[in-house]
Each structure stands twice: as structure tokens, then as C-alpha cells.
Amino acid sequence: MTLLPQNPLLAEWTAAFGLPPFGAIEPEQFRPAFDAALAAHRAEIDAIAVDPAPPSFDNTIAALERGGCALDRVANVFFVLAGADTDDAIEAVEREISPLLARHNNAIHLNRALYARIADLYARRDRLGLSLEQARVLDRYHTRFVRAGGALEKPAQDRLAAINERLASLGTQFGQNVLADEKAYALILEEGDLAGLPDFARAAARAAAEDRGHRGKYAITLARSSCESFLQFSARRDLREKVFQAWIKRGENGGATDNRALIGEMVALRAERARLLGFPTFADYRLNDQMAKTPANARKLLDEVWGRARAKAQVERDALQTMIAEEGGNFALEAWDWRYYAEKLRKARYDLDEAEIKPYLQLDKMVEAAFETARRLFGLTFTPVDVPLYHPDARAFEVKDANGRHVGLFIGDHFARSSKHSGAWMTSLRDQEKLTGAVTPIILNICNFSKPAAGEPALLSFDDARTLFHEFGHALHGLLSNVTYPLLAGTAVPSDFVELPSQLYEHWLEVPEILQTYARHAKTGAPMPKALLDRLLATRTYGQGFATVEYTACALVDLDLHGLRDTAALDFSEFERRDLERIHMPAEIVMRHRLPHFQHLFSGGGYAAGYYSYMWSEVLDADAFEAFEETGNAFDPATAKRLRDVIYSAGNLRDPAEAYTAFRGRLPSVDALLKKRGLVDAAA
Ligand SMILES: [Zn+2]
């Protein structure tokens, strides 16, 4: 017998907190580990499906919940790396493995014997003596199988399986194409090209150039924090245009990384899948299992906001054009001018500029601020721990509750690098559950903040700080999770509800006592002067016309695209253009994510026909924060306890509308959102 060297992905993980042995993991170990884990899970599923004993909750639903442990472990560590620290070898595995995973999930959801057991239990659900949580798990399994096609006839199931596999491959390719376009681009600048750029932007550009092998020069990249701050500050109109054009052309540059054909195929496949499952369009299919329930409900909210947002953006545009004229400029405002003049006008109007604020927003202090907020709301503490992770920039913190009990592990991986996909997200290496013992979560926040040069402090924009709090809100949803069944844990809720914990958390960044304590000047350590803080908070609704238009246009185009009944021979650049025309998109504003790089919709598809979710959740978060404001205390203990009990720790235990009503006593109206965004009347 030969002894094969043990694959560390499949061995017992003995590192602190049960972390994966990152130092021993090599990309070539993933494929065999996936193969072994998939085979093990398949055997578990088959055993459940052919069990001669009549179906019971325990031998079917609980058994499904107990299964797939090895696969979860391997997949979690793989997808953390594929998102946050990828390379050619990982990307190759990703392309191979995504259709295999889709095939695996198909085999489970389209397993007729298994579906028969679930359907039998579901029919008898009231007589099974289930707890509320067990009843919810059974209900979710039944819904999930039906929505995946478990109840369909064989030919339709085969077609669904083929569609899902193909969609998985296309989604992977889409994300990799965007990353390739981002990696391929850097605008390399000389000292003389930096007019208008404040120190922090110069430092970030210098570090980015060095990262790309241009020591002593400056690089503007397509990471949002790099190009957005360039667009905001650079006085060079010609260079702003260059960067802006590169940014909005990601995924639309022709050649191997062009995403347009992929979009066409994906939209057509999704529409076909919806039809097979009995829905007229993909949007109908998708929203049926969301809090919104129908595209019409989602659209009603967007329409309510859209007209007001456009009117406000119009007023903002006129003010910017006036400023250009006053400066003697003889040109019409273009998309690449908007951020630059908006920043200038903000400075003129409120005596406030980003460069003045930024030295007070140190990354580490803002992380502390997010921790302190969690301590005051939920009694959590965060202690740095020195454990081996996958990249030196990632940092781990042990999370404990008010009684000193271990809650989980939080990993913050905050800096942009070329091996990381763009954007910011929360993910996990392990999710909370109590079915197989007390399993505590390991939750990550991945961000793309500019990394400073060695010895310099990492500084955030106010938007970055908001992103930090947002992702940390998601992290708390994972960390505070307190359910028995893995299916219901943490963020496993509908996507129009999942942004409630994250967006709600952003409100505490703006609570004066948090900013006063944690916004400290990087050089002097002095707190942000009261006057500056007041001016900063006074600008809260400044520019909301632009921001709301930029976002809402994306949500509308998404619903329109996925509401198509006939997708044959559609040109998607043309579709985007015509649809924007239809909704009267202001000419000087470009969608926050154009279709060729709209990863929410096409890189995996988690938000396909679901981009409206952010605004749907915002209706909830604006109203939910008012619950604290009404008490006069942003940390009111009774409100915080209720929030924790029915939202942050409750995962998917309840229907979202029920959960929200349990917190607030009623469902929200759109009023709090309009007030928050300054859209109650259309004056700027
Ligand atoms: Zn989010």
C-alpha cells in the first residue's frame, strides 16, 4: 500500500479557531479536494434518497442539513481565495469547477426520489410535530426544490440542468473578464500630470505605480477608490476623460475579454429557465421568492424615487454648469466632469473638501469605530489575534460577547491589490450552526481601499468609511447568527432583505459621538474639529440627486432586461442605450455599473433582477434607524436588543416582512428614505 501525501484541504484542520492551513494550500490541491468532497456529498445524498425508512424530518431534512461538510469547507476556502487573492492557477480551477458545482447542485435538486420525500413531508407538515425553526427549514427546502425544478418532468429537468451548468461557466468567465480588463489598465503619470490631486491621492497613485513596476511614477487604476478620487480631484480634463472612458468600457473592449456576447446568452438562458418553471419572465421568477414578491412592487418603489432623483440631479447639474461658466469655462458639463465640479461646489458651498476630511479618517480608527458600535449595540468585543491567513494584509480578530464567550472570528482584508476582484463584500470560511455541535462563524470583509506607501497611514474617504460600516453590518449578520440549521444561518435571507443589516449599520458612522471619538487626524491625533464635523454632516444630502440617479438607473435597466420575454437577437449595448433613453437618463450621468461589467447581475447572478434590493432594503433601514432616533438614543438598549433578536441573529428564521414587523410593529413606508436622501422636495 502506498501512502499518498495527505491533501491539506481534506485533512483535519488543527490551526487556531479551525482556520484552514493557508500556508500548506497549493492551487493544484483544489481539484482533487473538490472531487473527493463532491463524491462524499453525493454518497450522502444518495443514502438519504434511497433510505428504505419512510421519510421523517430527521432522516431527510436534518440529514440533508448535516451533509456536505467537506464540500462546504473546500468551497469556502476556494471562493475566498478566488475573490480576494487569485492568480492564473486559481482562475483555471474556478473555470473548471463552477460547472461541476452547478452539475452537483442540479443532481441534488433534480433528484426525483429525494424530491418525493421532501414533498411527502411538506404535505404532512402540520402533523409532524415540528418546532417553528424546523417548520421553516422544511418550508425553505420545499420552496428551493420546487424553484429548482424538482417537481418537473424529466425532459424539462434535463434542459434546466444544462442551462444551470452553462450559466455557471458564463458567470465565472464574466467576472474574470472584468478583472482582466481592470488588471490590464493603468494610466501611468508623471509628477507634472497631477494637478489638483491632494497628498493622499498622490501617495495612493505612487503606491499603485510601484505595485505595477513603475517605481517613482504615478498610476491611476480602475479600482473604484483610485479612479473615483482621480475623477474628483484631477484638474486635467483630458486625463479625467481618459480614465472615465476606460472605467465605463470595462468588459466592452472587444477581443477575448468582451462580455457583450456573454450577457446575451445569459439573459436568454435565464428567460428560458423561468419559462420552464412556469413564470413569464426571469424577473417574475426571481422576485417570487423575495420580499418584494413581484417586479411590479419593486418597480413601484423605484418609480416613486426616480422622478424625484432626476429632478434633483437636474438642479445639481445646473449648479455645476454655472460654476464652469463662472470659471470662464466654455464647455458643457460631461460625465467625467461631474465628480470634479461637484467636489469643487461642495467646497465652495460648505467650505468642505474631501482632502480636508480624509486625514481624519484613518482605516484603523474607523475599524475601531465599527467595533465600538458593535460593543455598544450588542456587547461584542474584538481582539486582534495573530493567526496565519492567506495574505499579509488580512487581519484577524476574535469576537466575544458581553460575558466573554467566544462568538466567532472576524477577518478584515481591506486593501486593493491586483489579485483581488473589485468591489467590497462579506463572505465566510465557516457559518454558524448548532446542528452538528456549537459551530461558530468565521466571517470576512473584503474591501478595495487604496493601500498607502510604506510608513504612511491608510486613509479613507467618507464613502470608503461608509463601505467599511456597510460590510461590517453584513459581518455582524453572520457573526451574531444564532440558529440551529445551517440553511437559515446569517445572511441566508432574500437579497432585498439582506442589505438591511448592512445599510442600517452605516447610520452609526454618522452618529456624532462615534465620529467625534474615532475621526482623528493621522499626523496630529487631534479629533475632527466640531465645526468640520458639523459641516460634514450638513452635506449628507448633497449630491444625492446624482447618486440616486446613478444607482436607480441600474436597478431599472436590470428589471427591464430580466423582464424581457423575447431575448432573441438582442444587441445589449443597444438595449442599454434605448432603455436609458426610455427612462430619460440625464446625459451627464452614466450608470453606476454598465451592463458589460455589471458583476451583481452576471458574475454569479446573485443580484440578477435583484439590484433594486439595495433601495428596497434602504426603505427598511431608513425606517429602522428612526426607531433609535425616536428614543433619543442611537444606542438605545431595548431597541438594540430587539434588533439583535429578530434581525441580526435571526438569519432566515422568519419571513422578512414578519421579521421586520416584529422589530418595528409595522411595515415601513418610503418616507424615511426620501427624507434621508433629501428627495422630499426636488430642491438641491
Ligand atoms: Zn451589501
d(C-alpha 676, C-alpha 667), whole Å: 18
Identity of the highest mean pLDDT range in 401-405, 448-452, 537-541, 568-572: 401-405
| Average confidence (pLDDT) over 394-413 | 98
The H or E element that residue 416 is part of is none
Q: How far is CA 510 from CA 320, 465, 505, in A?
A: 27, 10, 10
Is residue 488 within 8 Å of residue 652, measured between CB atoms? Answer: yes
Is the pLDDT at 4 greater than 70? The verdict is: no
252: helix, strand or coil: coil
433: helix, strand or coil: strand
What's the grid cell of residue 74? 473546500
Main-chain phi, psi angles of 284, to 5 degrees: -60, -45
d(C-alpha 66, C-alpha 84), whole Å: 28
Alpha carbon 509 to its chain's center: 19
d(C-alpha 471, C-alpha 483), whole Å: 21
Which residue type sits at 316?
E
Is residue 453 within 8 Å of residue 415, measured between CB atoms? Answer: no
Q: How far is CA 295 from CA 263, 280, 604, 665, in A?
A: 21, 11, 21, 26
d(C-alpha 453, C-alpha 459), whole Å: 11
CA-closest candidate to residue 621, choices 567, 664, 571, 684 = 664
Which residue type sits at 116?
A
Query: Distance from the CA of 438 to the center of ligand 1, in angstroms?
Result: 27
Q: Which residues are near ligand 1, the ion (C-beta closer than 5 Å)?
A: 499, 502
Is residue 310 within 8 Å of residue 553, measured between CB atoms? Answer: no
Query: Distance from the CA of 661 to the center of ligand 1, in angstroms?
Result: 22
Question: What's this model's pTM, rounded to 2 decimal places?
Answer: 0.89
182-192 confidence digits (pLDDT tens) = 989 999 999 99
Among all chains, which residue has been given the C-alpha cell 494584509? Answer: 393
**Can you give the pLDDT at residue 569?**
77
- Indicate the pLDDT class of residue 632, thresholds 50, 70 and 90: very high
**Can you give the pLDDT at residue 502?**
97
Among all chains, which residue has been given the C-alpha cell 491625533? Answer: 525
CA-closest candidate to residue 616, choices 678, 669, 576, 563 = 669
d(C-alpha 629, C-alpha 594), whole Å: 37
Query: Distance from the CA of 145 to the center of ligand 1, in angstroms?
Result: 26
- Indicate the pLDDT class of residue 3, thresholds 50, 70 and 90: very low
Region for residue 636 given its phi and psi (left: phi exceeds 0; alpha: psi -120 to 50; beta: otherwise): beta
d(C-alpha 48, C-alpha 61), whole Å: 9
Q: pLDDT > 90: what percent of the chain?
A: 86
209-253 confidence digits (pLDDT tens) = 998 899 999 999 998 888 999 999 999 999 999 999 999 999 999
Region for residue 110 given its phi and psi (left: phi exceeds 0; alpha: psi -120 to 50; beta: otherwise): alpha
- Indicate the pLDDT class of residue 2, thresholds 50, 70 and 90: very low
d(C-alpha 476, C-alpha 506), whole Å: 12
**Can you give the pLDDT at residue 351?**
85
Is residue 273 within 8 Å of residue 160, measured between CB atoms? Answer: yes
Is residue 476 within 8 Å of residue 493, measured between CB atoms? Answer: no
Is the pLDDT at 567 greater than 50? The verdict is: yes
Please list the helix, strand and coil fractions of the chain in percent, rounded to the nearest 5, in that order. 60, 5, 35
501-531 confidence digits (pLDDT tens) = 999 999 999 998 899 899 999 999 999 998 9
Which residue type sits at 7?
N
Main-chain phi, psi angles of 288, to 5 degrees: -55, -30
**Can you give the pLDDT at residue 423?**
87
Strand 187-189 versus strand 395-400 pairing type: unpaired
The H or E element that residue 408 is part of is strand 406-415
d(C-alpha 572, C-alpha 293), whole Å: 27
Which residue in 44, 252, 343, 471 is the catalytic one?
A: 471
Is the pLDDT at 5 greater than 70? The verdict is: no
CA-closest candidate to residue 429, choices 460, 386, 394 = 394
**Can you give the pLDDT at residue 537?**
87
d(C-alpha 493, C-alpha 507), whole Å: 21
- Indicate the pLDDT class of residue 421, thresholds 50, 70 and 90: confident
| Average confidence (pLDDT) over 528-535 | 90
Query: Distance from the CA of 172 to the center of ligand 1, in angstroms?
Result: 20
Query: Distance from the CA of 525 to the center of ligand 1, in angstroms?
Result: 31
Query: Residues of 153-166 as b/e, b for ≥16 C-beta within 10 angstroms?
Result: eeeebeebbebbbe
Task: Identify the residue with better confidence: 337 or 538.
Answer: 337
Alpha helices in 236-292 (DSSP H): 237-248, 260-276, 282-288
| Average confidence (pLDDT) over 424-448 | 96
Is the pLDDT at 606 greater than 90? The verdict is: no
- Indicate the pLDDT class of residue 618, thresholds 50, 70 and 90: very high
Query: Distance from the CA of 572 to the center of ligand 1, in angstroms?
Result: 27
Kindly report each contact of residues 208-211 with a partner whose C-beta sits within 8 Å and lies 24 or more positions away, as own/partner.
208/450, 210/453, 211/417, 211/418, 211/451
| Average confidence (pLDDT) over 249-265 | 95
CA 169-226-498 angle, 5° bins: 55
Query: Distance from the CA of 593 to the center of ligand 1, in angstroms?
Result: 15
| Average confidence (pLDDT) over 533-550 | 91
- Indicate the pLDDT class of residue 480, thresholds 50, 70 and 90: very high
Average the pLDDT over each of 44-53, 373-382, 502-511, 664-673 and give the range with the smallest value: 664-673
Query: Distance from the CA of 255 to the center of ligand 1, in angstroms?
Result: 32
Is residue 153 within 8 Å of residue 159, measured between CB atoms? Answer: no
**Can you give the pLDDT at residue 187?**
97
Average pLDDT, the chain: 94
**Can you give the pLDDT at residue 489?**
98
CA 195-198-204 angle, 5° bins: 105
Instruction: Provide the residue count of the chain.
Output: 684
Verify whether residue 165 is a known catalytic residue: no
Average the pLDDT over each of 29-33, 53-57, 573-577, 635-639 and give the range with the smallest value: 573-577
d(C-alpha 423, C-alpha 598), whole Å: 11
**Can you give the pLDDT at residue 684?**
39
Is residue 334 within 8 Å of residue 588, measured between CB atoms? Answer: yes
279-333 confidence digits (pLDDT tens) = 999 999 999 999 999 999 999 999 999 999 999 999 999 999 999 999 999 999 9
| Average confidence (pLDDT) over 109-121 | 96
Query: Distance from the CA of 471 to the center of ligand 1, in angstroms?
Result: 6
**Can you give the pLDDT at residue 683?**
42
d(C-alpha 57, C-alpha 128), whole Å: 8
Is the pLDDT at 681 greater than 70? The verdict is: no
| Average confidence (pLDDT) over 472-478 | 98
d(C-alpha 309, C-alpha 677), whole Å: 9
**Can you give the pLDDT at residue 578?**
95
What are the E-state strand segments in 474-579? none
d(C-alpha 186, C-alpha 427), whole Å: 28
